[in-house]
Amino acid sequence: MRITGAQLRIVEMPLRSPFTTSFGTEDDKIALLIRIDAVVDTPAGPVESTGWGECVAMDAPVYSAEYVAGAVEVTRRFLLPKLLAAGSSLTAQRVSGLLEPVVGHPMAKAALEMAVLDAELRARGISFAEHLGAEHDRVPSGVSVGIQDSIPQLLEVVGDYLDQGYVRIKLKIRPGWDVDAVAAVRERFGDDIPLQVDANAAYTLADAAQLRRLDAFGLLLIEQPMPEDDLRQHAQLARLVSTPICLDESVVSARAAADAISMGACRVINIKPGRVGGYLEARRIHDLARAHGIAVWCGGMLETGLGRAANAALAALPGFSLPGDISASDRFYAQDITTPFVIEDGHVAVPSGPGLGVTPNPEILESVTTWKDDLPVT
């Protein structure tokens, strides 16, 4: 394909309620979206197409090193020019190789790859799900529950999500909000609800005794207890606790996943396409984990309907054996920019239309846009 137009856009969407993790509280979602216009070669000849990419970097570098304004800068100055330089030989498959000379910035790279892949697949009439190798038309829906002000409030929030049909609850934890929160949820809702926790790197090995207390509650996993760059600590912790360790932040590529698996640092991997540089690298991690008997599930970054559509397609691959953080649009947003994703019988449908299978509603998109810029493509 050949890129004929590129537009960057920042959207700002209010969250229905604040979302608190071990690294802070979010009140709004601020996201970078990329629209690519292209002429795509198809068996039927060249076809004009449009593709959408969503960059999952947050407004501030608190989950990982990337942040929205940095993603805008690196995309405009370094990444997009590399794709333009490829001329008409550009394909989605080639994007990660073309962008490899730029160090880091996986979320910005993933958004560009997503847009190119979307444009390509829309032109060919193939869905993300079909292209990635999905085997299901719906995926089980889990929900991530932020840190609350009190235990009674937590129980109310969790009860509400269970009433809506969510099939798995993930509690955000941090030192001071861990064992008691888990114990209260188990006591109120029983031992049968699939329950897991996510620390977002807030602990160290000095907390091993406290984390070991979680073993009493039959959790599916403990997600990313230790710092991103410390696989060794995770491997040591994995020998001290019986609850499976799951990695999120640490798995930044298929190579990092292979390291983690060979060191015994995790028994489960949370796959986030943005964190690993794209949907194609995400699929490689899925394949690698599957070959090693490591369970995977699809994480979330409070995506709009665009990223949610692609995540649902990925989560429908056969190795995704645990419910993902793929909730309904209304988990976070009163109004999504696409047709909203809904939870039905505990599941979210995998879009089946060409490309992402969803497009932004133009009026809604404009109403949440705070900045946009057409980039030169010649």
**How many angstroms separate the CA atoms of 185 and 179, rounded?**
10
Q: Which among 29, 82, 109, 172 is annotated as catalytic?
A: 172
Distance of CA 306 to the CA centre of its chain: 11
What mask, x for binding ligand SMG by CB under 6 A, covers residues 81 to 120?
----------------------------------------
Stretch binding ligand SMG (CB under 6 A), from 8-16, 113-121, 296-304, 359-367: 296-304
Residue 106 touches which of ligand SMG, Mg ion, none (Cβ within 5-8 Å per kind): none
Neighbours of 59 (CB within 10 A): 16
Distance (Å, whole) CA 52 – CA 119: 7
Comparing CB distances to Mg ion, the nearer of 246 and 328 is: 246
Give the closest residue to 369 by CA, choosing from 96, 10, 5, 114.
10
CA dihedral 283, 15, 337, 325 (to 10 degrees): 20
Of 69, 46, 44, 47, the residue nearest 58 (C-alpha): 69
Report the distance separating Cα 73 and Cα 344, nearest Å: 40
**Structural contact between residues 343 and 141, judged by C-beta atoms closer than 8 angstroms:** yes
Q: Which residues pair with 372 in a beta bridge?
A: 9
138-197 residues in contact with ligand SMG (CB under 6 A) are 144
Residues 28-57 binding ligand SMG (CB under 6 A) are none
C-beta of 38 vs 202, nearer to ligand SMG: 202
Amino acid of residue 310: A
Q: Which of 123, 302, 313, 316 binds ligand SMG (CB under 6 A)?
A: 302
The question of whether 272 is a catalytic residue gets the answer yes
Q: At what angle do helices 279-291 and 106-124 cross, to 10 degrees?
A: 100
DSSP code for 353: S
* Contact track, ligand SMG, 316-345, x by CB under 6 A: ---------x-x------------------
Whether 142 contacts 195, CB under 8 Å: no
Residue 54 interaction partner, one of Mg ion, ligand SMG, none, beta carbon < 5-8 Å per kind: none
Decide if residue 198 touches Mg ion (CB under 5 A). yes
- Using rule CB under 6 A, residue 21 touches ligand SMG: yes
Among 118, 178, 248, 336, binds ligand SMG (CB under 6 A): 248
Determine if 301 is a binding residue for ligand SMG (CB under 6 A): yes
Q: Kindly indicate which of the ranges 150-158, 258-266, 282-290, 300-308 contains the residues binding ligand SMG, using the contact rule CB under 6 A.
A: 300-308
Question: Where in the sequence numbering do the catalytic residues fall?
Answer: 172, 272
The site for Mg ion (CB under 5 A) is made up of 198, 223, 248
The site for ligand SMG (CB under 6 A) is made up of 19, 21, 26, 63, 144, 198, 200, 248, 299-302, 325, 327
